[in-house]
């Protein structure tokens, strides 16, 4: 073995695939019983509809290197993500665009009129100086739209005072003064034509890659555990950063999600892939309806059944799957201390969402893994 990769998500698999192609013998371990990390999907046994087990995953990128790389393993459909949100029993389109603004204010503003209105409503904070999520959101869209569409959804998603959340969380959402209601701004977008798992399996399918599932790096009963491997072989570690150092600096805070999946005897539940629920009285943040991600599979999917998944967010304990880094000021200070520890680990390379405590989209995880391979490991 020339390289041990801990974690078979997109970060770990990308490094493993590159190393294998370069002639290195790579072992990939994962504590789960399947590869692919959180992008893993499977077909629901009753309906055959592809369900993303760890939450809906939409692929999008503007990075030509990443786009060329991922196309080696899968074709993409021409799916374009659009989201709607239910506020006070009325459905609006998200992200906030001219359609949302005019519907909310029961108006017919032109782009210039809408800009003037929002500028007037957003005056209390300056976009460039906004120090946290609340200030940034109000600076971008004004208080009425913030209170309708962002405040309570964010409270459900993070249970953290929006004044203590980084402004970057909300910067992920565009605000548009036209009727373009696409969720993403990226050059390329689509879903893997034959599913995430087929894509992931093709990345791992290499004679130089040996995948071992159900193996936890911290389980001393396993041959490939931390104590037995560090210093013996180069390691790419994509598990949680704080866990690696036995929580020596404290626990980084994460949000986890609970998913409630249901098969309904209906052709169509909500008419669209994702419906957000903006209000505090609905306990879930959104409902996914998976058949709508693949309209091109209409002839294969049942016409009398559909699969929906309600998503609930809460703080993660050590036993839960960590999904979203909360990133408060305390977390950021702790992260700096862990980064110092990481520098001292010889030939252990920390990567991915968990290993760097960063919210990374798939294209970012893949791009960062390609860079790590190229700049640090190759």
> Which residues participate in catalysis according to the annotation?
172, 176, 255, 286, 311, 359, 361
| By the rule CB under 6 A, 38 interacts with ligand UDP | no
Query: Which of 234, 239, 325, 367 forms a contact with ligand FAD (CB under 6 A)?
Result: 239
What torsion do the CA atoms of 339, 342, 344, 347 make, to the nearest 10 degrees? -140
| By the rule CB under 6 A, 150 interacts with ligand UDP | yes
With contact defined as beta carbons under 8 Å apart, do 296 and 289 qualify? no
Q: Which residue is nearest to ligand FAD (CB)?
A: 37
| By the rule CB under 6 A, 148 interacts with ligand UDP | no
Residue 73 CB, nearest approach to ligand UDP (Å):
23
| By the rule CB under 6 A, 97 interacts with ligand UDP | no
Half-sphere exposure of 324 (CA within 13 A, CB side): 19
**Residue 150 interface partner, choices ligand FAD, ligand UDP, none, CB cut-off 5-8 Å depending on type:** ligand UDP
Residue 68: how many other CB atoms lie within 10 Å? 9
| By the rule CB under 6 A, 155 interacts with ligand UDP | no
| By the rule CB under 6 A, 169 interacts with ligand UDP | yes
Residue 39 CB, nearest approach to ligand UDP (Å):
13
Antiparallel, parallel or unpaired: β 286-289 and 274-277: antiparallel
- 95 preceded by cis ω (within 30°)? yes
Antiparallel, parallel or unpaired: β 26-30 and 3-6: parallel
Q: Can you tell me which residue has the tokens 């370069």?
A: 22
Closest to ligand UDP by CB, 188 vs 324, is 324
Closest to ligand UDP by CB, 159 vs 178, is 159
Strand partners, 61: 188
Residue 173 CB, nearest approach to ligand UDP (Å):
5
Antiparallel, parallel or unpaired: β 3-6 and 235-237: parallel
Closest to ligand UDP by CB, 141 vs 377, is 141
Handedness of CA 273, 169, 69, 204 (dihedral sign): negative
Q: Can you tell me which residue has the tokens 């993303």?
A: 52
Query: Which of 47, 85, 197, 238 forms a contact with ligand UDP (CB under 6 A)?
Result: 85
Rg (CA), the chain: 22
274: left (phi over 0), alpha (psi -120 to 50) or beta: beta
| By the rule CB under 6 A, 133 interacts with ligand FAD | no
Query: Which of 143, 230, 323, 345 forms a contact with ligand FAD (CB under 6 A)?
Result: 323
Nearest CA to 362 among 207, 209, 240, 184? 184
| By the rule CB under 6 A, 55 interacts with ligand FAD | yes
Q: Under rule CB under 6 A, how many of the chain's residues touch ligand UDP? A: 13
**Residue 29 interface partner, choices ligand FAD, ligand UDP, none, CB cut-off 5-8 Å depending on type:** ligand FAD
How far is the first Cα of the chain from the last one, in angstroms, to the nearest whole number?
A: 15
With contact defined as beta carbons under 8 Å apart, do 343 and 377 qualify? no
Query: Which of 133, 354, 370, 377 forms a contact with ligand FAD (CB under 6 A)?
Result: 354
Closest to ligand FAD by CB, 147 vs 216, is 216
The site for ligand UDP (CB under 6 A) is made up of: 85, 94, 149-150, 153-154, 157, 169-170, 172-173, 276, 278
């Amino acid at each position: 073995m020339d390289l041990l990769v801990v974690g078979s998500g997109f970060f770990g698999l990308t490094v493993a695939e590159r190393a294998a192609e370069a002639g290195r013998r790579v072992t990939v371990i994962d504590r789960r019983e399947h590869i692919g990390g959180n992008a893993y999907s499977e077909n629901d046994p009753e309906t055959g509809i592809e369900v993303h087990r760890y939450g809906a995953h939409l692929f999008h990128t503007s990075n030509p290197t990443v786009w060329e790389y991922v196309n080696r393993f899968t074709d993409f459909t021409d799916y374009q993500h659009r989201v709607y949100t239910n506020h006070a029993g009325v459905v609006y389109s998200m992200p906030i665009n001219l359609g949302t603004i005019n519907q909310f204010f029961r108006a017919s503003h032109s782009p210039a009129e809408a800009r003037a209105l929002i500028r007037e409503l957003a005056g209390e904070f300056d976009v460039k100086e906004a120090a946290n999520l609340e200030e940034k959101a109000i600076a971008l869209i004004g208080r009425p739209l913030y209170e309708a569409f962002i405040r309570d959804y964010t409270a459900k998603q993070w249970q953290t005072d929006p004044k203590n959340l980084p402004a970057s969380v909300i910067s992920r959402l565009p605000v548009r003064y036209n009727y373009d209601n696409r969720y993403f701004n990226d050059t390329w977008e689509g879903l893997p034509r034959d599913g995430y798992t087929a894509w992931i399996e093709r990345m791992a399918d290499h004679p130089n890659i040996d995948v071992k599932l159900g193996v936890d790096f911290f389980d001393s009963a396993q041959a490939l555990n931390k104590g037995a491997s560090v210093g013996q072989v180069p390691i790419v570690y994509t598990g949680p950063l704080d866990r690696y150092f036995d929580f020596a600096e404290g626990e980084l805070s994460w949000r986890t999600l609970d998913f409630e999946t249901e098969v309904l005897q209906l052709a169509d539940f909500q008419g669209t892939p994702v419906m957000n629920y903006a209000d505090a009285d609905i306990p879930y943040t959104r409902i996914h309806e998976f058949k709508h991600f693949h309209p091109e599979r209409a002839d294969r999917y049942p016409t009398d059944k559909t699969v929906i998944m309600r998503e609930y967010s809460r703080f993660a304990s050590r036993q839960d799957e960590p999904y979203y880094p909360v990133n408060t000021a305390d977390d950021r200070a702790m992260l700096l201390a862990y980064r110092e520890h990481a520098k001292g680990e010889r030939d252990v390379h920390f990567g991915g969402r968990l290993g760097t405590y960063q919210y990374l989209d798939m294209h970012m995880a893949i791009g960062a893994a390609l860079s790590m391979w190229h700049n640090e490991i190759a």
